[in-house]
Amino acid sequence: MGLCVITGAASGIGLELARIAAAEGHELLLVDRDPAIEQVAATLSGGAVVADLSTRDGVDALCSRLAGNAPDLLMLNAGRGLGHAFMEQSEDAILDVIETNVIGTTMLARRIGQRMAARGSGRIMFAGSIVGYMPGPYQAVYNATKAYVNSLSVALSNELSGCGVTVTCLMPGATDTQVFERAGMQETPIGEMKKEDPVKVARSGYDAMMAGREQITPGVMNKIQATAAEILPAGMVAELHRKIAEPRD
């Protein structure tokens, strides 16, 4: 079935994507800054790269491991969350989110996407989010990075149309992963509410990618939220987001 590269595959949606790809018979190369990726890869009989994709060294490490080859599937899932008020967030934390979600994702899409386009085949999937449509008080930087990813993926889908490479953007809503804990958002309404199953989200994304779909938002309620966010005034959307993301005092 060919080589499948998945970033951010140590847990959450990335891990579920890896399990699906392994079950479908793909050769795996899994990437994460968490050393646990080595055990995940061993369990799924794949290769592992421990790399921090927020850095140029991390991006270089993955591209060097590919040794000039182009994978058949590239799932750009690595991402970092960040909650709380923007003015209270540390500059290091803000930069980590931007450098992981935006810069690392962009550079990998360009470097590996070039190889796919030169070969004339391949499938790329970006992990976007419905929050990319929402100005996000108490999650402002994260939402802004997802707006970037959502936009970049559709632009690349258009640019690459006809060359044999498809681009899909998976845009889920709140999903039951470690992202809220890592973002310090456990004591917020969104951190406490029931969330989407990452197994189902990953399956929706994988199937959409294999079908060559440009975008996929799993779940009826998520589709409604995404549509409402595009229709309602931005200030109203921001106020609604504040109600779910503001920490409880």
Report the catalytic residues. 142
Give the chain as a 3 state SS string.
CCEEEEECCCCHHHHHHHHHHHHCCCEEEEEECCCCHHHHHHHCCCEEEECCCCCHHHHHHHHHHHCCCCCCEEEECCCCCCCCCHHHCCHHHHHHHHHHHHHHHHHHHHHHHHHHHHHCCEEEEEECCHHHHCCCCCCHHHHHHHHHHHHHHHHHHHHCCCCCEEEEEECCCCECCCHHHHCCCCCCHHHHCCCECHHHHHHHHHHHHHCCCCEECCCHHHHHHHHHHHHCCHHHHHHHHHHHHCCCC
Q: How crowded is the C-beta side of 199, counted as CA atoms within 13 Å? A: 0
Chain centroid offset of residue 149 CA: 8
